[in-house]
Amino acid sequence: MFHWLEKNPFFFAVGVFVVIAFAGLIEILPNFAEASRPVAGLKPYTVLELAGKNVYKKDNCIACHSQLIRPFKSETDRYGQYSLSGEYAYDRPFLWGSKRTGPDLHRVGNYRTTDWHENHMMDPKSVVPQSIMPAYKHMFTNLADIDTAYAEALTVKKLFATPYDAPNGTPLGTHDEAKAAALEEAKAIAADMKNQSVKDAVANGQIPEIVAIIAYMNRLK
C-alpha cells in the first residue's frame, strides 16, 4: 500500500489532506459548536436597541470603544465578568473593536444609567472632566431609523431563525406593532431623561437617536 502511495503522489497528497483535515475538524468543530451557541437567557435585540446599535455603528463608537472584556483580573475588576463568545450570538456584526481610547462598553449597562448617558453625550466633560470624548449633541435632534432596524430584525429572523416572536424571545410582530413597541420602550427611557425637547419629541411619537443609543447602552450587560 505504501509503495502504491509513493508511486501516486496525487493520492498521497489527498490522503495527507484527509488526515490533517480530520484532526482539525475534531479539534475545532465541537468547541466552536458549543461556544457559538447563545448563552442561557440571551434575547435578540429589540427594534429600538437595534436602532441604537446602528447609531453606535454610524457614529463609529467602535473606533475608540471595545466591547470585549478579556479574562484578566485588572479588566474584570473594572468592567465586570469577562465576555463569553455566546453573548454575541445575536450580534450581526459583533462590535468587539480593537482600540480602547475610551473604556470597554460590553457591560456598561451594569454601571451607567440613562441620566448619566444623557449628561455624557451632551457634554462628556461635564461628568468626566479629563474626558477627550467629543460631544454627540446631534443625537438629541437626529431621529433614529426605526424602519431599518425593523428590516434588520425581520431579516435575521427569516434568514438565521433568530428567535424573534419565540417563547422567551423578543417580540417583533408586524412593522406597525414593532414601531409601537419601540415607541413604548422609548417613552420609558424618556421618562428617566431631563432634556425637554427629547421628552417632547417622544411624546409626539418621534424617537431621537439619543433614546435609541441609551436603550442600546442599557442593554449591554
Partner 1 sequence: MNSLMIKALAFAVVLILATVVVVKGMNIDLSDPVNMVTILGAIAIAIISAGVVTKYIGQMKTDKSTGELADEKWDGIGEYKNELPSGWAFSFLGTIIWALWYWLAGYPLNAYSQIGEYNEETKAYNAKFEATFANPDQATLTAMGESVFLVQCAPCHGETADGLSGKAQDLTNRMSKEQVLDVIAKGSNQLGYPMGAMPPMLATGADAEAIATYVAGGMQGTAPAAFATCVACHGADGKGNNGAAPNIAEYDDAVVSHVLQNGKKGAIGAMPSFKTRLTPVQEKALSTYLQTL
Positions touching partner 1 (CB under 8 A) are 3, 71-73, 76, 78, 80, 82, 110-116, 119, 126-129, 192
Q: Are 43 and 168 in contact (CB under 8 A)?
A: yes
CA distance 172 to 181: 8
Strand segments, DSSP code E, in 117-204 are: none
Measured from the CB of residue 56, what is the shortest distance to partner 1 in angstroms?
19
Nearest 5°: the CA angle 179, 114, 90 is 55
Which is nearer to partner 1, 7 or 159 (by Cβ)? 7
Which is nearer to partner 1, 85 or 142 (by Cβ)? 85
Please report, in angstroms and rounded to a whole number, the separation of the first and last CA atoms in the chain.
59
Which is nearer to partner 1, 110 or 148 (by Cβ)? 110
CA distance 117 to 114: 5
Which is nearer to partner 1, 104 or 152 (by Cβ)? 104
Which is nearer to partner 1, 57 or 221 (by Cβ)? 221
2-15 per-residue burial string, b: 16 or more CB within 10 A, e: under 16: eeeeeeeeeeeeee
Q: Are 104 and 66 in contact (CB under 8 A)?
A: yes
Measured from the CB of residue 116, what is the shortest distance to partner 1 in angstroms?
5
Which is nearer to partner 1, 195 or 206 (by Cβ)? 195
The secondary structure element, H or E, covering residue 204 is none
Measured from the CB of residue 159, what is the shortest distance to partner 1 in angstroms?
32
Measured from the CB of residue 149, what is the shortest distance to partner 1 in angstroms?
25
Q: Are 140 and 197 in contact (CB under 8 A)?
A: yes
Measured from the CB of residue 125, what is the shortest distance to partner 1 in angstroms?
10
Measured from the CB of residue 178, what is the shortest distance to partner 1 in angstroms?
27
Q: Are 134 and 124 in contact (CB under 8 A)?
A: yes
